[in-house]
Amino acid sequence: MRNTLAIAWREIQAYFTSPLAYVVIGVFLALSGYFFWAGLLRFSELCLRYGNNPYISQQLNVNDMVIRPHFGTMGIIFLLMIPVITMRLLAEERRTGTAELLFTCPVTSGQVVLGKYLGASVLLLVMIAVTLTYPLLVAGGGTAPDMGPTLIGYLGILLMGLSFLGIGLLISSLTENQVVAAVGAFGVLLILWVINWVASSATATLASIINNFTNGLWDTLGLPLGGPTLGDLINQLSITWHSQDFQKGLLDTQHIVFYASVVFLSLFVTQRVIESRRWR
């Protein structure tokens, strides 16, 4: 454990003694802050416009109109920023030749992977922690959000970010070029982000094929042969589908298990990749 923490501390120092951490945090706060402010401004305008209408004013909820979209925006920004955080973790070690020096030390490949992952996770935690001031500012303005769903939403965005870090670290272990690592991680994350968008269309396409093949018998009988099963399977692989309940303030263990599984599998495969190269 001491070796793991030493590697993690080394990564934290590398982040915060270079412009990388400050640029990433600054861009993240600028983007998330702007969209949060825009959502809050729109909510305030609606409250002023329809404040005298009891029916409409009851429909205006700060959690649904400001806080929940805020988490969706943070997820999109993570999609762009986390590959920048992870691109150097292992790719730079291979490019500069320090990977060989690192592995001659009395540390295991698992300790290296976990230490680098923990170092990147600290930067992620700092990014998320600063945004906690947003709902506090809303509360200070007189319209306090429901903190229970808000904290659950932050848990969801944290789990999403940690899973992104694991995937980015895995891609970084496959190359020594940081640009390739960043683009590769972005590509994989984008696929996992949009995969549920094709779930319904894939289900409809498969249903149409089956229906045509059976000359309309499947549609006539109303048999759910294969269609819903395919859509459900695709949804289970989607990053965004598992985040939706968190954004609504709903805590479901299946989504926690999914993100934890992504992190574990990513770190395990990364460790195997490093181990295979260590003994070449």
pLDDT per residue as tens digits for the range 144-173: 677 888 888 899 999 999 999 999 999 988
Domain of 107, in residue numbers: 2-278
Confidence (pLDDT) at 55: 61
Q: Are 164 and 189 in contact (CB under 8 A)?
A: yes
Q: Are 180 and 280 in contact (CB under 8 A)?
A: no
- Total domains in the chain come to 1
Distance of CA 264 to the CA centre of its chain: 15
What residues contact 188, with CB distance under 8 A and at least 6 apart?
Answer: 167, 171
> What is the value of pTM for the model shown?
0.82
- Evaluate if residue 188 carries a pLDDT over 50: yes
Distance of CA 19 to the CA centre of its chain: 23
**Spatial distance between the Cα atoms of 13 and 16, rounded to a whole number of angstroms:** 5
- Residue 270's identity, in one-letter code, is T
The percent of residues in the chain predicted with pLDDT above 90, rounded, is 22
**Spatial distance between the Cα atoms of 66 and 135, rounded to a whole number of angstroms:** 9
- Lowest average pLDDT, out of 8-12, 117-121, 238-242, 253-257, goes to 238-242
SS (H, E, C) 192-221: HHHHHHHHHHHHHHHHHHHHHHCCCHHHHH
Q: What mean pLDDT is predicted for residues 62-76?
A: 84
**Using 50, 70 and 90 to split pLDDT, how confident is the model at 208?**
low
Q: Which two tokens stand for residue 141?
A: 């303005």
DSSP-derived letter for residue 67 is I
Residue labelled with tokens 């289970």: 236
What residues contact 190, with CB distance under 8 A and at least 6 apart?
Answer: 79
Q: Which two tokens stand for residue 17?
A: 């003694």
Q: What mean pLDDT is predicted for residues 168-197?
A: 86
